[in-house]
């Protein structure tokens, strides 16, 4: 193995703010620049970089193989990670080099580039032997396990996945090889959420044949793709966002652990406004009603519209998972319980009290969302792009929710 000190510059809104240095043996060091530390009006990189008094944290322990959690969470997971790493000829476990490859189109307003224009080092003997075999890497990285790509929209409504994988303002989520009609399910749930007044980006259910440059080797397991507008891009500008695994400093593999909906609510209550609390409550109630057992920490984010103030980011990744896997438990505890069948007014009151949220706002929003959902669901369920069995499963699930 070749050991060489390599440094990546971390830029926020195009301005250098930090460095990540690989000092050899897959050991990495993160540090802010002195200019960023001394800038009292600096843009916020993340809530997890603040101490209990709101001051910037500046001392970080070295990491081995992985990056610190904030940057580890910017990288894709599992299937998507393996796919992109293979294209780039990078070991998917070695996060410094994976960030090097993907750092030009990350979520939010962060970009990462090699210091002094250094070329990606050949990292082991296998790379030396296979160096000429690899394709140009697709440089779009959005955390998650589903195969998803950046897309550029045409005037005729179609999409192209750029050859480099970067620069698109839409996210294209392809059909699943494991489960039926996942794009249709997600489109329907996101559309329902929009009907109930939640902050939902522009979405489309696009026929596969209207998407150009789908990478070879990825099977087409359905007729449609779910397409969602990137809310961290507007007018060719990046808008900074941060998911709650980043906020809490938790690695992606622990996104189902270490925190609860109450913890998320408390941060939103401290950092946001009344409307942020109401929006959080709507989404919590809605995802319980549709049976989304996969609302983990990475499916909640904050957005920095003014570069310094955090508010709840637009909705994403709403899916009725019970349509595929029967489950009475959410991925995260609400306040005392994960069980859908224990999601009650009392549980929401407990969450409001412990998270120090206005109880009246939480309970009134919950009741309005519940009432609105039943009205819209009754009217729209047969018009949505759902299979008959999906509708029947959600109907049955609704009878088990004690929220009244």
Rounded Cα distance between 348 and 372, Å, is 18
DSSP per residue, 255-322: TTSS--HHHHHHHHHHHS-HHHHHHHHHHHHHHHHTT-TT--GGG-EEEETTSS-EEEPPP-----GG
Name the DSSP letter for residue 92: T
Catalytic residue IDs: 294
Please, what is the end-to-end C-alpha distance for the chain in angstroms?
62
d(CA 49, CA 255) in angstroms, rounded, equals 19
Distances (CA, A) of 397 to 288, 321, 360, 391: 9, 11, 27, 10
Three-state DSSP class for residue 145: coil
* Residue indicated by tokens 């929003």: 365
φ and ψ of 332, to 5 deg:
-125, 145
Q: Are 187 and 226 in contact (CB under 8 A)?
A: yes
Q: Tokens 């500046």, residue?
A: 58
Contact (CB, 8 A) for 314 and 231: yes
d(CA 279, CA 287): 12
Q: Count CB-CB contacts under 10 A for residue 113.
A: 15
Q: Give the pairing of strands 148-153 and 159-160.
A: antiparallel
Q: Are 115 and 74 in contact (CB under 8 A)?
A: no
**CA 401 to the chain's CA centroid:** 27
Provide the 3-class DSSP secondary structure of residue 339: strand
């Amino acid at each position: 193995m070749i050991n060489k000190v390599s440094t990546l510059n971390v830029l926020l809104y195009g301005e250098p703010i930090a460095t990540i240095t690989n000092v050899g043996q897959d050991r990495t060091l993160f540090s802010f620049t002195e200019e960023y530390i001394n800038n009292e009006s600096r843009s916020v990189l993340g809530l997890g970089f603040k101490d209990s008094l709101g001051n910037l944290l500046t001392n970080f322990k070295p990491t081995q193989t992985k990056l610190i959690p904030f940057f580890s969470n910017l990288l894709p997971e599992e299937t998507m990670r393996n796919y992109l790493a293979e294209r780039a000829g990078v070991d998917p476990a070695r996060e410094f080099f994976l960030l090097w490859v993907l750092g030009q189109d990350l979520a939010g307003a962060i970009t990462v580039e090699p210091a002094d224009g250094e070329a990606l080092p050949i990292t082991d003997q296998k790379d030396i032997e296979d160096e000429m075999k690899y394709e140009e890497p697709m440089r779009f990285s959005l955390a998650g396990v589903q195969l998803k790509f950046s897309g550029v929209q045409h005037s005729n409504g179609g999409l192209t996945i750029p050859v480099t994988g970067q620069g698109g303002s839409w996210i294209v989520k392809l059909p699943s090889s494991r489960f039926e009609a996942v794009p249709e399910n997600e489109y329907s749930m996101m559309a329902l959420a929009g009907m109930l007044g939640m902050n939902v980006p522009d979405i489309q259910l696009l026929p596969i044949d209207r998407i150009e440059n789908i990478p070879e080797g990825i099977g087409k397991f359905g007729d449609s793709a779910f397409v969602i507008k990137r809310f961290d891009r507007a007018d060719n500008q990046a808008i900074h966002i941060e998911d709650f695994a980043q906020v809490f400093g938790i690695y992606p593999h622990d996104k189902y652990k270490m925190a609860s909906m109450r913890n998320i609510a408390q941060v939103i209550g401290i950092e946001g406004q009344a409307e942020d609390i109401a929006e959080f409550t709507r989404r919590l109630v809605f995802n319980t009603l549709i049976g989304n057992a996969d609302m983990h920490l990475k499916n909640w984010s904050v957005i920095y519209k003014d570069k310094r103030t955090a508010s709840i980011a637009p909705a994403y990744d709403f899916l009725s998972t019970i349509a595929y896997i029967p489950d009475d438990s959410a991925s995260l505890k609400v306040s005392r319980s994960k069980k859908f069948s224990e999601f009650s007014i009392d549980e929401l009151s407990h969450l409001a009290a412990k998270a120090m949220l206005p109880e009246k706002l939480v309970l009134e929003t919950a009741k309005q969302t519940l009432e609105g959902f039943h009205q819209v669901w009754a009217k729209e369920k047969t018009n949505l792009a759902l299979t008959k069995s999906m509708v029947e499963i959600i109907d049955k699930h609704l009878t088990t929710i004690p929220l009244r």
